[in-house]
A = this chain, B = another copy of it.
Amino acid sequence: MIKKVELTGVKEIARRANVSIGTVDRVIHNRKGVSDATRQKINLIIEEINYQPNKMASLLATKRNLNFAILIPKVSAETDYWTYPLNGIEQAGEEVKQFGIIIQYFFYDLDSRGSFNEAAEELLNCNPQAILLAPSFIEESTAVVKRINELNIPLVFINSDLPKQPSLTYIGPELYQSGRLAAQLTSLSIAHEDEIMIINISTDLENDHHLVRKEQGFRAYFNDSKLANPITTLNIYDTHIGSVEKSVLEALQQNPNVQAFFVTNSRVNIVAKILKKHNKTHSLVGYDFLKSNINYLIDGQINFLICQRPKEQGYLAIMALYKHLFNINEPEKAIYMPIDIITKENYRFYNS
């Protein structure tokens, strides 16, 4: 009895198609230089035997490096928010480097559209095989993304989406719902009649749709819950503590019944500092796991922080690109981060 030899892989395909494995390889990778007839024959066989390439052999053979380029805001003195996505990216980088993936970092200044364009130009000059982008300036980002898509480079957005531009996936927050959650948390610590003040602090408020969406969610929650607490909004365009202080104190004088503040971004620590200085005990809810925020959480000036796993966003983005390029799996088109609540009793175990 003859033992049946079960060949697999390119060899078996080559045997069945009566060609060399070199030709099979050309078909598998859609390289040109194969006659249509041969190509079809081989593709048929590939389907027939449901061929799955052995990625390990492929990796071993290529010894090729893959360049991943990332373009995110620079960590600024003002906020260390972007250290967290960066940490996640670096951690993922450690894990995939054995597969020949090399990460190149490009940073831009959140205050400068020019710096974004420059960094993007440099990035494209490096011919990356995959790109991670945290877009901020819609117009400039859109222009860059169009070029990326023309070049057919897989692209992942984190933190902010550019919904009209195609991408492998978006990984980040769903803002409206996080505003609703902020409202629920705020409602826990106030009475029926208490007034609430929403504080937006941003130099570029008109372009910051993030804050607007959160505010919408916040107000919707109170509406839907039939809570009648008056809600006013205070917009502050100058982020320096002096002017924030002036604005907040003025607003408090005009609205003496305000018992709770909701700060729509990570600048909640500024408000906390001001309230503390003036011995105010208002309820305070804001965003993001920053050291300066955590300190006020610990001493009770901030009640809750909402956080959407910035480190995980960076980590998952790199892994999504890796899994895509290595045929492991395809991500959902949008991955919304869980909306985490941080208090002084669980911050210690929150790992980003």
Task: Show the binding face of A for B, using Cβ within 8 Å.
Answer: 54-57, 59-60, 94-95, 98-100, 174, 177-178, 180-181, 183-184, 188-189, 221, 323, 326-329, 336-341, 343-346, 348-351
Contacts and interface: CB of A to CB of B under 8 A. Distances in A.
B56 A177 contact: no
A340 B343 contact: no
Interface centre among A181, A188, A344, A346 (most CB of B within 10 A): A346
Nearest to A97: B328
Copies of this chain, count: 2
Contacts of A56: 56, 59-60, 98-100
Contacts of A350: 338
Contact of A57 (B60, B180, B336, B345): B60
Contacts of A338: 340, 346, 349-351
A4 B349 CA distance: 49
Contact of A343 (B98, B181, B343): B181
Contacts of A343: 181, 184, 341
A56 to B, nearest CB: 4
A183 B181 CA distance: 20
26 contacts: A54-B60, A54-B98, A56-B98, A56-B100, A57-B60, A60-B60, A94-B328, A95-B323, A95-B328, A95-B329, A98-B327, A98-B328, A174-B349, A177-B346, A181-B346, A183-B345, A188-B189, A336-B349, A338-B340, A338-B346, A338-B350, A339-B349, A340-B340, A341-B341, A341-B343, A341-B346
